[in-house]
């Protein structure tokens, strides 16, 4: 069993981006983060993204709003950033408060600045295999992990557990593209799938993004499978100082002995999401200059 080290691969991508940005003459790529409220996880995520953007040599900016911000005020700020030529990427940190619809908010961002890849136009461009679009960062990170770990998807059966807009749907669309790094046969499973283990056992590559801790067990995989565990769940653990431990959607102890390659949690897909956000921001900068 080989561990797919997302920390190492993400660090390599960040180093590549840093070198590329250092060669740019004049202005640098600028990404603006929009955060509503002070959810501790959101604050932590934005701080991390901000730090890595600065490390690469990009210009990070932060727009903060209180939880009771009106939709009109938030959208006015998005419109302002859309119109600002010095801003190349816009990221709206989830979650948003219940009175503001997330999908409507994602659609408000200019598709050419939607470095999160959630705009209808950018999701449509994945379907059309139009490379001018932006791929959502976690699915893009998954494909990069597979590619840089020498996992060929050509003719393989990829089973995706989960049908979310953020991971399941876009990663399925990517894996089936007519590209040298794709060409897979894809099955998408979800909460209503009948006899799930009989399908997951067919997977050459299993992508688990179902949001249930340690859901995938050894009876659900075949020997030699490549496992990408997207889940990150907090499970109570009295032996830890924090009172919890982080675990994926895969029971690592059970499944890893059967897998040929597997991502850990943490340290697998998570770091790749931030790295691909930065890659999208540089791409947006280049497209804006074209």
Under a CB-based contact definition with an 8 Å cutoff, are residues 159 and 171 in contact?
Answer: no
The number of beta carbons lying within 10 Å of the beta carbon of residue 39 is 16
Distance CA 270, CA 223 (A): 25
Distance CA 92, CA 106 (A): 7
Distance CA 111, CA 89 (A): 10
pLDDT at 216: 98
pLDDT at 7: 97
Residues 245-277 as b/e (b if ≥16 CB within 10 A, e otherwise) read ebbbbbbbeebbebbebbbbbebbbbbbbbbbb
Strands 205-208, 185-189: pairing is unpaired
The residue from 25, 39, 114, 116 that is catalytic is: 116
Q: Is 77 assigned a catalytic role?
A: no
The residue from 18, 38, 84, 93 that is catalytic is: 93
pLDDT at 235: 86
- Asked if the domains 25-110 and 137-269 are classified in one and the same CATH topology, the answer is yes
Exposed, middle or buried: residue 150 (CB in 10 Å: 0-12, 13-18, 19+)? exposed
Q: Spell out the CATH class of 137-269.
A: alpha beta
Counting as low any pLDDT under 50, the low residues of the chain are none
- pLDDT tens for 130-162 read 999 999 999 999 999 999 999 999 999 999 999
Q: Where are the domains of the chain?
A: 25-110, 137-269
Phi, psi of 16 (to 5 degrees): -65, -45
Q: Is 38 assigned a catalytic role?
A: no
Q: Is 204 assigned a catalytic role?
A: no
Which fold is adopted by the domain 25-110? Rossmann fold (3.40.50)
């Amino acid at each position: 069993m080989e561990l797919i080290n997302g920390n190492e691969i993400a660090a390599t991508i960040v180093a590549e981006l840093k070198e590329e940005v250092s060669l740019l003459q004049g202005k640098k790529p600028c990404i603006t983060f929009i955060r509503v409220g002070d959810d501790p996880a959101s604050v932590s995520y934005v701080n991390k993204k901000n730090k890595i953007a600065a490390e690469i040599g990009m210009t990070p900016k932060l727009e903060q709003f209180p939880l009771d911000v009106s939709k009109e005020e938030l959208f006015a700020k998005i419109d302002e950033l859309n119109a600002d030529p010095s801003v190349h990427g816009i990221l709206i940190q989830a979650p948003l408060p219940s009175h503001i619809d997330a999908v409507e908010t994602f659609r408000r961002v200019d598709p050419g600045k939607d470095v999160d890849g959630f705009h209808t136009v950018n999701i449509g461009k994945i379907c059309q295999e139009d490379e001018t679009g932006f791929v959502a960062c976690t699915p893009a990170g998954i494909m990069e992990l597979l590619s840089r770990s020498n996992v060929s998807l050509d003719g393989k059966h990829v089973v995706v557990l989960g049908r979310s807009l953020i991971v399941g749907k876009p990663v399925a669309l990517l894996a089936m593209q007519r590209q040298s790094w794709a060409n897979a046969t894809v099955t998408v499973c979800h909460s209503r799938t009948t006899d799930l283990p009989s399908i997951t056992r067919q997977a050459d590559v299993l992508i688990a993004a179902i949001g249930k801790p340690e859901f995938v067990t050894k009876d659900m995989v075949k020997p030699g499978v490549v496992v990408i565990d997207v889940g990150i769940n907090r499970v109570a653990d009295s032996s830890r100082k924090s009172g919890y431990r982080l675990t994926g959607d895969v029971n690592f102890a059970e499944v890893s002995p059967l897998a040929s390659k597997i991502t850990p949690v943490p340290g697998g897909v998570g770091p790749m999401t931030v790295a691909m956000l930065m890659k999208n921001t540089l791409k947006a900068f280049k497209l804006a200059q074209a």
